[in-house]
């Protein structure tokens, strides 16, 4: 039997872990520790900046549940996903947003790859560099998806190389996104969001009693309007007392990156992504206003989520509005993303290699 090297220095990687019954991988170097729930969508459950012991990712109130030991009380397309939503970072494919139907199949919330076990293999394991390759095939659509997570010694950047393949014999639509939820204690009213610019589109519907921003409003980042016409700066994170629950989308970004910085801590989290694939940045605003199921006012978090399409009303809606990604038979769509930690109080830009230019 082959046992993985058990280094105590440099880059380290192991998929020999189990967390709450789920096969789990831990990837780390001197600056970052990444926890991947292989048996649950290959979700990135934890993204820790080790020097400050800061985990940027949000955790749901119920955390990680082992689906084998949990019986859902109903088969609702939203509830079945929410029951095992631990927070963190999910790859969303092939249907982003609420349930819909496509090709005669039911697509649940954020269907369908993030509630199933993935295959995983360690493809590089040296003190200088480690890589984990995770892959999955969908079961209601004909997609194969693969992502490789890599850390390099001394670098605060997690690299992701991703490939989507249509293994069917007809063109198939999809919505593909990275569902990245950021929460406390990192997230607070001390935080500011930096973008290279773009066009804000608020969700067209009043979908929740605590929607505070004006439905369908459009304008340049970062300003929007509240329902009463008051200007509202989306780049500034309000406190939980704001009690809002909203959704916006930013498109026409001149470059694909964002940064969120806690100015009191002097620490931030950023993502770099290709805008030719991810044409929309979804901005989920959950500032204590998620009353009723499933949050009951407890959730204080945001989602900053690169997506191919909009809105969050599911795959069929994205097909109807012309933003769904259409993948031809045998076609491969490849992307490269980077997620990173940085020190500073504001960001001028993030370069394609993940280096940060602070203010």
Domain membership of residue 2 (yes or no) is: no
Segments forming the whole domain that contains residue 211 = 12-358
| Euclidean distance between CA atoms 101 and 174, whole angstroms | 12
Alpha helices for the chain (secondary structure H): 79-82, 315-321
CB count within 10 Å of CB 67 equals 17
Given a contact cutoff of 8 angstroms between Cβ atoms, the answer to whether 45 and 86 are in contact is: yes
- Whether the pLDDT of residue 88 is over 50: the answer is yes
- Whether the pLDDT of residue 1 is over 50: the answer is no
- Whether the pLDDT of residue 224 is over 70: the answer is yes
Domain membership of residue 113 (yes or no) is: yes
| 94 cis-preceded (ω within 30 degrees of 0) | yes
Domain membership of residue 316 (yes or no) is: yes
Instruction: With cut-offs at 50, 70 and 90, classify the pLDDT of residue 3.
Output: low
- Whether the pLDDT of residue 251 is over 50: the answer is yes
SS3 content of the chain, % helix, strand, coil (to 5): 5, 50, 45
Domain membership of residue 61 (yes or no) is: yes
Q: Find the angle CA(179)-CA(180)-CA(184) to the nearest 5 degrees.
A: 140
| Euclidean distance between CA atoms 197 and 333, whole angstroms | 26
pLDDT at position 6 is: 83
pLDDT at position 67 is: 81
Domain membership of residue 298 (yes or no) is: yes
DSSP classification of residue 140? S
Q: Can you read off the two tokens belonging to residue 352?
A: 């394609």
Instruction: With cut-offs at 50, 70 and 90, classify the pLDDT of residue 258.
Output: very high
Q: Is 251 helix (H, G, I), strand (E, B) or coil?
A: strand
Q: Is 112 helix (H, G, I), strand (E, B) or coil?
A: strand
Short-list 151, 119, 158, CA closest to 135: 119
Given a contact cutoff of 8 angstroms between Cβ atoms, the answer to whether 341 and 156 are in contact is: yes
Q: Is 51 helix (H, G, I), strand (E, B) or coil?
A: helix
Given a contact cutoff of 8 angstroms between Cβ atoms, the answer to whether 21 and 66 are in contact is: yes
Instruction: With cut-offs at 50, 70 and 90, classify the pLDDT of residue 70.
Output: confident
Q: How many domains does the chain have?
A: 1
DSSP classification of residue 321? H
| Euclidean distance between CA atoms 296 and 136, whole angstroms | 33
- Whether the pLDDT of residue 25 is over 80: the answer is yes
| 203 cis-preceded (ω within 30 degrees of 0) | no
Q: Find the angle CA(201)-CA(228)-CA(232) to the nearest 5 degrees.
A: 50
- Listed as own residue / partner, the contacts of 262-265 with beta carbons closer than 8 Å and 24 or more positions apart are 262/186, 262/187, 262/188, 262/190, 262/191, 263/190, 263/191, 263/192, 263/345, 263/346, 264/188, 264/190, 265/52, 265/54, 265/186, 265/190
- The tens digit of pLDDT for each residue in 33-64 reads 999 999 999 999 999 999 999 999 999 999 99
pLDDT, greater one: 66 or 177: 177
Q: Stretch 202-225: mean pLDDT, rounded? A: 97
- The tens digit of pLDDT for each residue in 137-150 reads 999 999 999 999 99
- Whether the pLDDT of residue 323 is over 70: the answer is yes
Domain membership of residue 180 (yes or no) is: yes
pLDDT at position 2 is: 59
Domain membership of residue 23 (yes or no) is: yes
Mean pLDDT of the chain: 96
- Whether the pLDDT of residue 5 is over 80: the answer is no
Q: Stretch 88-97: mean pLDDT, rounded? A: 96
Domain membership of residue 19 (yes or no) is: yes
Provide the whole-model pTM: 0.97
- The tens digit of pLDDT for each residue in 175-211 reads 999 999 999 999 999 999 999 999 999 999 999 999 9
pLDDT at position 71 is: 78
Q: Domain with 281 in it: what CATH number?
A: 2.70.98.10
| Euclidean distance between CA atoms 172 and 232, whole angstroms | 39
């Amino acid at each position: 039997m082959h046992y993985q090297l058990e280094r105590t220095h440099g880059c380290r990687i192991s998929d020999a872990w189990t967390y709450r019954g789920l096969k789990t991988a831990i990837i780390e170097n001197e600056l970052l520790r990444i926890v991947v729930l292989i048996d649950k969508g290959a979700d990135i459950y934890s993204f820790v900046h080790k020097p400050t012991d800061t985990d940027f990712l949000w955790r749901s109130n119920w955390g990680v549940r082992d689906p084998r030991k949990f019986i859902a009380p109903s088969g609702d397309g939203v509830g079945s996903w929410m029951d095992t939503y631990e927070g963190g970072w999910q790859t969303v494919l092939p249907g982003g947003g609420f349930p819909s139907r496509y090709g005669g199949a039911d697509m649940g919330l954020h269907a369908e790859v993030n509630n199933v076990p993935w295959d995983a293999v360690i493809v590089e394991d040296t003190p200088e560099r480690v890589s984990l390759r995770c892959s999955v095939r969908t079961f209601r659509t004909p997609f194969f998806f693969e992502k490789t997570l890599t850390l390099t010694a001394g670098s605060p950047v997690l690299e992701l190389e991703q490939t989507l393949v249509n293994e069917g014999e007809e063109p198939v639509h999809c919505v593909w996104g990275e569902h990245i939820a950021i929460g406390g204690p990192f997230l607070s009213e001390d935080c500011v969001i930096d973008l290279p610019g773009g066009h804000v589109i608020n969700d067209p519907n009043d979908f929740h009693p605590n929607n505070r921003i004006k439905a369908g409003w459009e304008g340049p980042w970062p300003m929007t309007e509240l329902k009463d016409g008051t200007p509202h700066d989306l780049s500034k994170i309000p406190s939980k007392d704001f009690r809002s629950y909203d959704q916006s989308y930013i498109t026409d970004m001149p470059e694909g990156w964002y940064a969120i910085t806690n100015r009191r801590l002097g620490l931030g989290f950023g993502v770099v992504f290709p805008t030719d694939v991810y044409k929309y940045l979804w901005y989920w605003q959950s500032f204590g206003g998620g009353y009723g199921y499933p949050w009951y006012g407890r959730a204080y978090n945001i989602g900053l989520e690169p997506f191919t399409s909009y809105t969050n009303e599911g795959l069929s809606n994205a097909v109807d509005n012309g933003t769904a990604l259409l993948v031809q038979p045998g076609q491969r769509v490849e992307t490269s993303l980077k997620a990173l930690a940085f020190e500073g109080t504001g960001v001028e830009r993030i370069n394609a290699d993940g280096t940060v230019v602070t203010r």
